[in-house]
Structure 1
Amino acid sequence: MLFSLYIIVTVAARTRSLPEIACNRLKIGDNWYDRDTLWANIGRPYNLNVHRGSNSLFFSYSLPETYADVDFQLAYFNIDTREYQTIAGIRGGCSVAIDQMNDEIYLGGSDGIYKYNMLTKLADFYKEKGKNIWSLFYKKNLFYISYPDQKLHIEYDGKFATVKEFENFEIDYFHVSSVNVIYFANKTGLYKYDNEKMEAQVVNELITVRQIVEDNEGDTYIVSNFGIFADGKYDGLKKILDMKNIYGLAFDKDNNFIYSDEKNIIKLVYSLVGCDKKPVHW
């Protein structure tokens, strides 16, 4: 009896003394996800965008200050094969937009817009020679934001022109949702544009927007310095992740979250178990 009691006490003491294993899961909304690091130790990955046909993630990242001539670099990472490569030939490459229907991948840098060829793995010059491209967006037409004036341009009939409705706005990020809600953001906050009233409506003046994206089901997400917000379409924005160090967001072909922090690109895979579950002891 004393021997059995000694075993129970000893096992309990050892169990309590075991170090706790840090939980590597993340909660977004009501769901838990396992983290899978796709690319580590890279400088602030921005503008994440997945080409669904090949399940390849395109993005830009910042280079060390020792590189005097180039401050941004474009790269891709194939999520299925783990193949990755930097994209050569685009000076100051910092922006991505993808026409998923036609498999067209547009990349922007400090000297114009390029198209990326998935077969040759090369970027060929497209249009706007000499223009500094801050951001790209595709929805039926190709849009770009020029730097440093932050003006919105649209491609129509083979040529680019300034979008008249936004001539009086500085724009850092632009997005048209699946239900045709027009979002844009600048240093003063996040806005919606009312086409009927032809005026901008304030959504949030406190956040700094880092990306506006859409998942495969047409839901819109805002990446900010206060975390990730989801567009409830009719109920407004709702914060689903309170994390300040997120810089980019995309969704792979299976609609899994892929996000970036200061140094890593991480894929989230749905988990049935969360970090709030109590560990099982024997």
Structure 2
Amino acid sequence: MNRILFIFVITSTSGIPDKSCDRIRIGNNWYERETLWSDLGRPYNLNIHRGSNTLFFSYTQPETYSDVDFQLAYYNLDSNDHQNIVGIRGGCAVAINQATDEIYLGGSEGIYKYNMLTKLADFYKEDGVNIWALFYKRNLFYISYPDQKLYIEIDDKFSPVKEFIGMEVDHFHVNKDNDIYFANKTGLYKYDNDNNNIHIVNNLITVRQIVEDIDDNVYICTNLGLFSIKVDELEKVSDMKNVHGLAFDRDNNIVISDEKNIIKLINSKSGCIDDKDHW
């Protein structure tokens, strides 16, 4: 399998850099852009079902920004088949159990399961609950809106996560080592299970998404650029500030979004002569 990965060691860029180019540098690697879907409104919450190599995400219609009318959609990275997902009012959340191929979608009236064969979403649970975000790691989690409370599904029922009662949560992630990271309007934090306390990772950034690549490396998409987590510290890998979402496909290729486009990054042997991020 041909994998395109972030590489943080010192490498040399082969080829002659172009004097003017439209490539992107992440870490020490350069990428060309392939726009997959354009003229969207702020696509975010990118999440790829790796079995089918299908990207799921949410966006808003440009003409309805003031109304914040969310719409879920999918894009198959192999066939280029893409369309909106019908039947979910205010659809804005995605979580995927990669082991069982279960795809959970959230909207303003609860949680749904997406059927890959019928391309329809069937109601699952939490009727009438406004779902802000979903996350899957052995259990299904959701964040409610507008109170930003975190819930977990245990024994077919959802209950508040007791360690987070009284906290606002906008983003939630558990890595392979069961380290818990979460973010809200005040920054990015790590919850220490052993000592039942919270550490500040960074209180200067606005987190847009927390994701993992297929090698379990954790990345943070923020208003100040892209970061990786290295021993509870953030390491900046790109100064791109206009990235709204980030995901990795089955081959670890990078898919990102800006204010209007879904973009796949393709590894390039040459970079830009001024050695800056072009975004």
Query: TM-score, normalization: structure 1?
Result: 0.88
Which position in structure 2 is the counterpart of 1:117?
115
Check conservation: 1:48, 1:58, Cα contact below 8 A.
yes
After superposition, give the CA deviation of every residue in 1:132-178 in whole Å (9 maximum; x if it has no partner).
00000000000000001100000000000000000021000000012
| Percent of paired sites with the same residue | 67
Give runs of ≥4 in structure 1 deviating > 6 Å.
67-70
Aligned pair in 2 of structure 1 residues 67, 150: CA closer, same or farther (>3 Å)? closer
Check conservation: 2:46, 2:56, Cα contact below 8 A.
yes
Whichever residue aligns with residue 87 of structure 2, its letter is G
Which position in structure 1 is the counterpart of 2:154?
156
Report the secondary structure of 2:78's partner residue. coil
Check conservation: 1:108, 1:135, Cα contact below 8 A.
yes
CA drift at 1:236: 1.9
Which position in structure 2 is the counterpart of 1:30?
28
Q: Can you give the 5+ residue segments of structure 2 that lack an aligned partner in the other structure?
A: 1-17
Q: Does 1:190 align with 2:183?
A: no
CA drift at 1:70: 6.9
Which position in structure 1 is the counterpart of 2:104?
106
Mapped to 2, the partners of 1:160 and 1:240 lie a distance apart of 37
Q: Does 1:240 align with 2:232?
A: no
Q: How does 1:221-232 map to 2 (within 5 A)?
A: 221-232=219-230
Mapped to 2, the partners of 1:100 and 1:161 lie a distance apart of 23
Aligned pair in 2 of structure 1 residues 196, 68: CA closer, same or farther (>3 Å)? closer
Relative to structure 2, which stretch is displaced further, 238-247 or 68-77? 68-77
Mapped to 2, the partners of 1:33 and 1:89 lie a distance apart of 36
Mapped to 2, the partners of 1:180 and 1:153 lie a distance apart of 17
Check conservation: 1:189, 1:206, Cα contact below 8 A.
yes
Whichever residue aligns with residue 223 of structure 1, its letter is C
Report the secondary structure of 2:220's partner residue. strand
TM-align CA RMSD? 1.7
CA drift at 1:69: 7.7
Which position in structure 2 is the counterpart of 1:7?
none
Q: Does 1:260 align with 2:257?
A: yes
Which position in structure 2 is the counterpart of 1:276?
273
Q: 1:88 aligns with which of 82, 86, 89?
A: 86
Aligned pair in 2 of structure 1 residues 52, 159: CA closer, same or farther (>3 Å)? same
Greater RCO, 1 or 2 (C-alpha within 8 Å, sep 6+): 2
Whichever residue aligns with residue 262 of structure 1, its letter is E
Report the secondary structure of 2:163's partner residue. helix
Relative to structure 2, which stretch is displaced further, 135-144 or 69-78? 69-78
CA drift at 1:108: 0.2
Check conservation: 2:221, 2:245, Cα contact below 8 A.
yes
After superposition, give the CA deviation of every residue in 1:68-119 in whole Å (9 maximum; x if it has no partner).
9870000000011111010000000000000000000000000000000000
Mapped to 2, the partners of 1:243 and 1:271 lie a distance apart of 17
After superposition, give the CA deviation of every residue in 1:6-34 in whole Å (9 maximum; x if it has no partner).
xxxxxxxxxxxxxx874121100011111
Aligned residues: 258
Check conservation: 1:70, 1:91, Cα contact below 8 A.
no
Which position in structure 2 is the counterpart of 1:41?
39
CA drift at 1:64: 3.4
Mapped to 2, the partners of 1:218 and 1:271 lie a distance apart of 24
CA drift at 1:264: 0.7
Check conservation: 2:171, 2:184, Cα contact below 8 A.
yes
Whichever residue aligns with residue 263 of structure 2, its letter is I
Q: Can you give the 5+ residue segments of structure 1 that lack an aligned partner in the other structure?
A: 1-19
Mapped to 2, the partners of 1:30 and 1:141 lie a distance apart of 36
